[in-house]
Structure 1
Amino acid sequence: MMDLLTSPEAWAALLTLTALEVVLGIDNVIFLSVIVSRIPAEQAKRARQIGLALALIFRILLLSMLVWLIGLTAPVITIKGLDLSWRDLILIGGGLFLIAKATHEIHAEVEGPTDGEVVASRSSNAFAWVIFQIIVIDVIFSLDSVITAIGMAQDLRIMVAAVVIACAVMYLSSGPVSAFVAEYPTTKMLALAFLVLIGVALVADGFSFHIPRAYIYTAIVFSGAVETFNVLAKRNQRKRKVAAQLTEPPR
């Protein structure tokens, strides 16, 4: 253990891998923020805690099963000359799930939820359904995250430490992000559009067509910055309107 603590290479690997895991965790935080927005606030907080705890557990379990995980990359079926492994199939299935879920949520935002959906969002089954969806996405994102970690670091202790730190950062950021999405509905639509984009990237990865994540995250950061300016502009407009009403002389 002391050799790791005193090794510059180990610290460099930990910092690099932690930064990468935090970036990869953005997908998870966005999904959590959107998915818990349809249940009551007290349940939403508990769902976030459960979801992030499961994300940490799945990542550590996968890291402890390296031999099994490596076996997931072996081809199992061939479609028109394209070899697909269990990892590819999981990524394709997860990407399609994300696209379908985000599209359904966008439709609900545009058309408005039906009476049945409003009742369902307040029922006890809604919480269980949210947890189930979080588990599905945690498995997908954990698989992608852990395979990346294995490719960057050779020591299991470094990988576990990076994953734990990244999950802690995700936990600290998930609350503010969820509150922001709930307060400003336009950001939810933007987040749903990101989920469609991420789902497409997962499906492409499954078919061995890699879309550099830097492109996706750059688009997310740029769009998020533009939306932040829009929110600030609307907030200042409301303040000016209220100030004008207060200073307006009575008729």
Structure 2
Amino acid sequence: MDAIIPLLTDPAAWAALITLIAMEVVLGIDNLIFISILSNKLPEAQRQFARRLGISLALIMRLALLSTLAWLVHLTAPIFSVGGSLAGLDLTFSWRDLILIAGGLFLLWKATKEIHGTMDPKPADFLDKTGVVVTNFGAVIVQIILIDMVFSIDSILTAVGMTDHLPIMIVAVIITVMIMLLAADPLANFINNNPSVVMLALGFLLMIGMILVADGFGVHIPKGYIYAAMAFSVGVEALNIMARNAKTKKESQAGH
């Protein structure tokens, strides 16, 4: 408590908290898109529970990692090297690098599999009454846990790099996860109601997977460029949705 009270009156601490929350929300969007796409493949009655469980697990993982900061810092320490540097790639790897590479490859595999399934659905897949492919609940939760772990490590290492104050990190993580909980259902419903957005979201996951792999190999792509491209894509898709809705409304009025 004695360490927290000075932070409450420190403008720099508040500025760090606001900045960190903004960064964590941006990083959390990637996590939320993945959870939304996976949960939408479940029967409708299980979707909300799966999303809330996935986000709750993300919170638990982040808080658990914050409680082991001394161990977490060692994740960035080099553990082995493969012949130095090649073609601009840093071939010295830490545990963080290996986790990012594994997580990126998992995202690439999962997004590619989902895109293939969307374009060429298997007749054997079990469909619900709305024609949505129904997936095993346990399989979805396991996949959410795996990707939560990757995004949690990336999120906490970002927090560690922005502030030295543990209370600020904890508050930022809790607020971010609360925002994710509030945004989860609207985002998942929007993705489910707009099929073209599913493909856009899967494209984002492919890009995020490539970024994680590149980061693991020491190629650091500025996040600002990535999120600017994502925002532009979302803007274009929003215009497409408005155009389709206007056309549908016009055709409906003409029919009457």
Please say if 1:206 is aligned against 2:216.
Answer: yes
Which residue of 1 is the match for residue 6 of structure 2?
Answer: 3
Distance 2:68 2:16 in 1: 21
Rounded Cα–Cα distance in structure 2 between residues aligned with 1:30 and 1:147 = 21
Distance 2:231 2:76 in 1: 31
- 2:27 matched to 1:24? yes
- Distance in 2 between the 1:60 and 1:116 partners? 38
Rounded to whole Å, the distance in 2 between the matches of 1:227 and 1:70 is 40
Mapping for residues 31-70 of structure 1, pairs under 5 Å: 31-70=34-73
Q: What does 1:1-251 correspond to in 2, within 5 Å? A: 1-81=4-84, 82-116=91-125, 118=127, 122=134, 126-246=136-256
Can you list the C-alpha shifts for 1:154-193, whole angstroms capped at 9, x where unaligned? 1100000001111111111111110011001000000000
Gapped regions of structure 2 (runs ≥ 5): 85-90
Give aligned-pair identity as a percent. Answer: 49
Deviates more, 1:68-77 or 1:145-154: 68-77
Unaligned runs of 5+ in 1: 247-251
What secondary structure does 1:79 align onto?
A: strand
- Hey, which of these two has a bigger chunk of helix by percent? 1
Q: Distance in 1 between matches of 2:177 and 2:58?
A: 8
Q: CA RMSD in A?
A: 1.5
Q: Please, what TM-score do these two structures have when normalized by structure 1?
A: 0.94
CA contact (8 A) 2:55 2:181 kept: yes
Please tell me the residue identity of whatever aligns with 2:17.
L
Partner amino acid for 1:111?
A: D
Q: Does the 8 A contact of 2:40 with 2:192 survive in 1?
A: yes
The CA deviation at 1:114 is 3.6
**Whole-angstrom distance in 2 between the partners of 1:93 and 1:117:** 30
8 Å Cα contact 2:125-2:134 kept in structure 1: no
Structure 1 distance, partners of 2:208, 2:115, is 15
Q: Kindly indicate whether the alpha-carbon contact (under 8 Å) linking 2:111 and 2:205 is maintained by their aligned counterparts in 1.
A: yes
Q: Is the 8 A contact 2:96 2:216 kept in 1?
A: yes
| Structure-2-length-normalised TM-score | 0.92
Q: Which residue of 2 aligns with 1:249?
A: none
CA contact (8 A) 2:80 2:92 kept: yes
